[in-house]
Amino acid sequence: MNSPLARHPLVQLTLLRFREFVREPEAVFWALIFPILLATGLGVAFRGGSTGPVNVAVTSAELARAMDGQGALAPEVLDTGAALDALRAGRVLLVVERDAHGEVVFRYDESNPEARAARMAVNEALQVAAGRVDPVSVRDDLWRETGSRYIDFLIPGLVGMGIMGNAIWGLGFAIVDARRRKLMKRIIATPMPRHLFLGSFLAWRMLLLPVEVGVPVVFGALAFGVPVRGGMVDLVVISVVGSLAFAAIGLLIASRAKTIEAVSGLMNFVMLPMWVLSGVFFSAERFPDAMQPFIAILPLSALIDALRSSMLQGVPLTGVGTELAILGAWTVSCFAVALRIFRWR
Amino acid sequence: MSRASSTPALRVQGLRKAFQDVHAVNGIDFEVRPGECFGLLGPNGAGKTTTIEICEGLTPADSGVVEVLGLRWETHAAELRQRLGIQLQETQLAEKLTVLETLELFRSFFRQGPSAAEALALVQLEEKRNARVGGLSGGQKQRLALACALVGDPALLFLDEPTTGLDPQARRQLWDLIDQFKRDGRTILLTTHYMDEAQQLCERVAIMDHGRIIAHGTPRELIASIGVEHVVAFATDRPVALAPLEAISGVKAVRTAADRVELQVTELHTCVPALLAEVDRQGLRLTSLTTHSATLEDVFVSLTGRHLRDE
Ligand SMILES: Nc1ncnc2c1ncn2[C@@H]1O[C@H](COP(=O)(O)OP(=O)(O)O)[C@@H](O)[C@H]1O
Ligand SMILES: [Mg+2]
């Protein structure tokens, strides 16, 4: 601790952030370990989900035999009650049964695309087994590109979600905790320039960013071959711009709250809509058209869209200018308001 | 006396501060002389913290003058921050840092002053240098807070209730440290609601109540001012008639507390026998009898009719 650099208040304040983080095992877990566990779990669950055999329940061996030789179908013979239980529990996508008139009945959830596909495959198998001859001859040429699988979709989403969570939680809890224990008041009673106190949070965000972005990206690349087509520089630029936006939002959330409960509520209130709407786990296009303009200006949507375009499609930074501009606007406006209303004691 | 040393270390004049409808500080004046330890003594809610935080430049006053080391906050805030040592009531330092790391943090805010390790020695906490703040005892935390106030080598120290909540041994230890700071030539403004602390540490004391200073002077002067040398406290098996007690010569005041009666008296050797005779005359049995020399507590009682700490 003898170098002049180590005696600079910004360095000491950033060290404070660093020490509070690494000495809190739960913080490290949620920031760094949890995203890996989540990606592993989801990656394994959805790995080649569409290529495995489709589970269907049938109520007679005769129906099962009709599907023999269809490798894509895995029929299981159950009585009607057990078959419906299996459908309810999601173990099978479709129940196939022959009614009193000899008609085949398909039972499935038609809002589930996989169940619709299963119905078509089973129908196909039954018709062919009964002697249908197709007039057009076809063959499959299977093509699986990295960048179009669910895990490819997921990793940029998790990176964006991590940047948001770490920035908002990191600033929110630390600032309100310092205010609550009057540590902030004690610190501003010294000659320390106030901007350094806030600056230390930004410095700490930037120091942690390589880890919080690097961990899921490297994990995705090694375990699943998720690409970074846009290159590391672009990934860094997008991440920094995103992290600044969420740091500003975190600062605004924490600018007046006096208790941990109050700030927790505010943080969840701000983040929850983005977890749902911004396309972390599934495409935001599924929401109605009327909501799309609103979704597009959410900072997490902008960040994740930019990350996906860059990582998966290799779109250059000029191609994600709109997203970066949205993030920049959030940064500037939230910082401006936060600094105006910030409560130092 | 040189001109510099005749400038008060702190001058407060006509100071007022209200929070909504509470007049926390209601027009007070006092001066702290260089090198002395000045005490603001008063019960909870008297306005001590508000006063000291205005002097520390943390709370703006509604009106009045505050001059610290001859300077005003409005014009010389940056310089004042370098020269003041501050310990706030109820600050909890970061629990995850070690003692030494905490001091290095605070030391980095000041241009000059002792090193973190030297500051640690000033409060005799060297053996805890690598301990986490969260694991310190109350007294050790308070000593660390004092060390944080010393890292800028301040000319003037503000200590807000430095020993509140500590056990008697930790309090004595802190008093010794504060005594040492005085010997090092630092000026101290201290608030407390312990009369023994003010009596022990302070050259001069201002007694505060409801936002006003109701008396000030040296502890000796203040005690002399109430014209009472001793306090006799006693209890009886059944209630005692008070009027005859007031008539005893040398009894200045009679006050009833929850479980006892207190007489403020000038002379023990005449008043105690007279009291015993009166109790006997009323046919009562004495269940306890104690006497003590008058203290600042008794000054407060005689000025307000209340005790500093409501038991
Ligand atoms: N920030 C505040 N908001 C409202 N009332 C306050 C505030 N600070 C102090 N007070 C009130 O001002 C009075 C004096 O408080 P304080 O200066 O803390 O007294 P002391 O330090 O002597 O116990 C109390 O009645 C207290 O409730
Ligand atoms: Mg107080």
| Residues A258 and A266 sit within 8 Å (Cβ to Cβ) | no
B76-101 average pLDDT score: 94
Largest CA distance in chain B: 73
Compute the distance from residue B51 Cα to the ligand 2 centre, in Å.
Answer: 9
pLDDT attached to residue A165: 94
Strands (E), chain B: 10-19, 22-32, 37-41, 63-68, 84-87, 156-160, 187-192, 204-209, 212-217, 230-236, 251-256, 261-265, 286-293
Measure the CA–CA gap between A298 and A304, rounded to whole angstroms.
Answer: 10
Which CATH fold would you assign to the domain A54-129?
A: D-Maltodextrin-Binding Protein; domain 2 (3.40.190)
In whole numbers, what is the pLDDT of chain B averaged over residues? 92
For the stretch A300-327, pLDDT in tens is 999 999 999 999 999 999 999 999 999 9
Nearest CA in chain A to B132: A23
Is-contact A162 A216, C-beta < 8 A? yes
pLDDT tens-place string over residues A206-247 = 999 999 999 999 999 998 889 999 999 999 999 999 999 999
Q: Tell me: the pLDDT tens digits for A240-257?
A: 999 999 999 999 999 999
Sign of CA dihedral A283, A286, A288, A289: positive
pLDDT for the residue B301: 87
Confirm if B163 and B170 have CB atoms less than 8 A apart.
yes
Query: Over the stretch A42-78, which tens digit does the pLDDT of each residue have?
Result: 777 766 545 567 889 998 888 888 887 766 788 889 9
Instruction: Supply the pLDDT for residue A31.
Output: 83
Query: Is the predicted pLDDT of residue B2 greater than 70, yes or no?
Result: no
Is A28 in CB contact (< 8 Å) with chain B? Answer: no
Q: Which residue has the higher pLDDT, B204 or B7?
A: B204
CB spacing of A182 vs B90 below 8 angstroms: yes
Q: Which residues contact A132 (CB under 8 A, 6 or more apart)?
A: none
User: Is the CB of A13 inside 8 Å of chain B's CB atoms?
Assistant: yes
Interface of A with B in 143-202 (CB under 8 A): 178, 181-183, 185-192
Nearest to A328 by CA among A241, A205, A262: A241
Do the Cβ atoms of A1 and B104 come within 8 Å? Answer: yes
Taking the Cβ of residue B106 and every Cβ of chain A, the question of whether any pair is shorter than 8 Å is answered with yes
Contact B287, B235 (CB under 8 A): yes
CB of A320 within 8 A of CB of A311? no
| Residue B90: per-residue pLDDT | 85
pLDDT for position A51: 59
Mean pLDDT, range B236-243, rounded to an integer: 90
- Half-sphere exposure in the Cβ direction for A54 (13 Å, CA): 23
CB contact under 8 A, A13 and B58: no
Closest CB to B81: pick one of A1, A16, A190.
Answer: A190
Per-residue pLDDT band for B310 (boundaries 50, 70, 90) equals low
Least reliable range by pLDDT among A144-148, A167-171, B238-242 = A144-148
Coil, helix or strand at residue A282: coil
Residue written as tokens 């809509």?
A273
Neighbours of A3 (CB within 10 A): 8
Nearest CA among B252, B247, B215 for reference residue B231: B252
Q: For chain A, how long is the longest CA-to-CA vector?
A: 91
Nearest chain A residue (CA) to B150? A190
Question: Domain limits of chain A?
Answer: 9-45+146-341, 54-129
CA-based end-to-end distance of chain B: 46
Distance CA A332, CA A245 (A): 8
- Give pLDDT, residue B311: 45
- Checking if the pLDDT of B3 tops 50, the result is no
Cα–Cα distance between A252 and B47 in angstroms, integer?
32
Q: Say if A23 is an interface residue toward chain B (CB within 8 Å).
A: yes
Q: Is the pLDDT of residue A260 over 90?
A: yes
Between A67-76, A287-296, B62-71, the lowest mean confidence (pLDDT) is in: A67-76
Residue B1 — very low, low, confident or very high, per pLDDT cuts 50/70/90? very low
Tell how far CA A315 is from the center of its chain: 20
Distance from A3 to chain B by nearest Cα, in Å? 12
* Mutation to probe ligand 1, out of B21, B22, B44, B308 (largest number of atoms < 8 A from CB): B22
- Predicted complex ipTM: 0.87
Q: Write out pLDDT tens, residues B103-148.
A: 999 999 999 999 999 999 999 999 999 999 999 999 999 999 999 9
Residue B144: per-residue pLDDT: 96
pLDDT for the residue numbered A2: 60
Flag if B91 and A181 touch (Cβ within 8 Å). yes
Strands in B261-265's sheet, in edge-to-edge order, are B251-256, B261-265, B230-236, B286-293
Six-digit token pair at A8?
């600079």
Record: contact B107-A9, CB cut-off 8 A: no
Q: Which residues contact A306 (CB under 8 A, 6 or more apart)?
A: A238, A242, A320, A323, A324, A327
Backbone angles phi, psi at B198, to 5 degrees: -65, -45
Q: For A268-287, how does the pLDDT look when each residue is reduced to its tens digit (9 = 90+)? A: 999 999 999 999 998 898 89
pTM over 0.90: no
CB atoms A182 and B92 under 8 Å: yes
CB contacts of A20 in chain B (<8 Å) are 94, 96-97
Whether the CB of B166 sits within 6 Å of ligand 1: no
The pLDDT, as a whole number, for residue B67 is 96
Least confident of A34-48, A278-292, B175-189: A34-48
E strands within A52-178? 54-58, 73-77, 94-98, 104-107
User: DSSP letters along B250-267, please?
Assistant: TEEEEEE-SS-EEEEES-
Q: Is the CB of B17 under 6 A from ligand 1?
A: no
CB A21 within 8 A of CB A28: yes
Q: How far is CA A319 from CA A246, A257, A293, B188, in A?
A: 22, 38, 19, 64
Residues shown for chain B: 311
pLDDT band with cut points at 50, 70 and 90 for residue B95: very high
Q: Is the CB of B50 under 6 A from ligand 1?
A: yes
CB environment A110-127: b (16+ within 10 A), e (fewer):
eeeeebbebbebbebbbe
Q: Please report the pLDDT score of residue A48 as a whole number.
A: 56
Which member of B90, B110, B116 has the closest CB to residue A190? B110
Say if ligand 1 is within 6 A of residue B225 CB: no
pLDDT value at A295 more than 90 = yes
pLDDT at B222 over 70: yes
